[in-house]
Amino acid sequence: MWQTLKNTGIDPASDRTSTTWADFLRSRAKALLACDFFKVPTLSGTHLYVLAVIKHSSRRIRVLGATAHSTAAWVAQASKNLVMDLHDAGNSARFLNRDRDRKFLTLFDVILADVGIQIVLSGVRIPQMNSIMERWIQSCRHELLDHTLIWNQRHLLHALREYEQFHNTHRPHHGIANARPCTRCHHRVPIMPRSATLTSADYNGWAASSTNTTTQSDQHGCSFRQAQRCSR
């Protein structure tokens, strides 16, 4: 086929005039966010849905919350929290890449559009279009959730906040020249619903499940479990 095109005077490898998806991600990295939901089972049998957002240029992660029911009110509040965080950090995000999950209600897009953030939808069943966010979810499962028995929402959020702190301040990232997303992140105490409580029995069981597990070290730095031991 290549020779046939060449013989007829058609360049088989002509320069592309349209912008590819990879070109778009690279050129908009400083103004591009990505987000996604992922499901976490608990020991009670309840499934919790976690919403997280990541900045492409720095790989800084922000866990927006976890819920058993992603209602319109919950999703709207999560988007408002994201807007406030971006404002406080002086972030100039202009685009947010997400998939077509039905949990992202119209109000989510409207709230972000009001502050000038354009929604960029991934293709149907093409997770590669949101690869940076998907890669973080994979790391979170491999380094944390696969080694921890989650009791309830409060326990999950506590564990995710610790992992978020580790990811942002200690974990080097190959995509940004082995740098850390930020040199200094203040630890944020998550706001929990009053009905979500962590009993002493819960804590003891969680502590045992957390300290008796191991994970492989990062190629260029310590693992999440090693960082936990060093901080104690």
- pLDDT at position 145 over 80: yes
Across the range 47-59, mean pLDDT stands at: 96
CATH of domain 27-225: 3.30.420.10
What pLDDT was estimated at residue 170? 86
- pLDDT at position 187 over 50: no
- pLDDT at position 192 over 80: no
- pLDDT at position 200 over 70: no
Three-state secondary structure readout of the chain: CHHHHHHCCCCCCCCCCCCCHHHHHHHCHHHEEEEEEEEEECCCCCEEEEEEEEECCCCCEEEEEEECCCCHHHHHHHHHHHHHHHHHCCCCCCEEEECCCCCCCHHHHHHHHHCCCEEEECCCCCHHHHHHHHHHHHHHHHHCHHHCCCCCHHHHHHHHHHHHHHHHHCCCEHHHCCECCCCCCCCCCCCCCCCCCCCHHHHHHHHHHHHCCCCCCECCECCHHHHHHHHC
- 110-135 pLDDT, tens digit each: 999 999 999 999 999 899 999 999 99
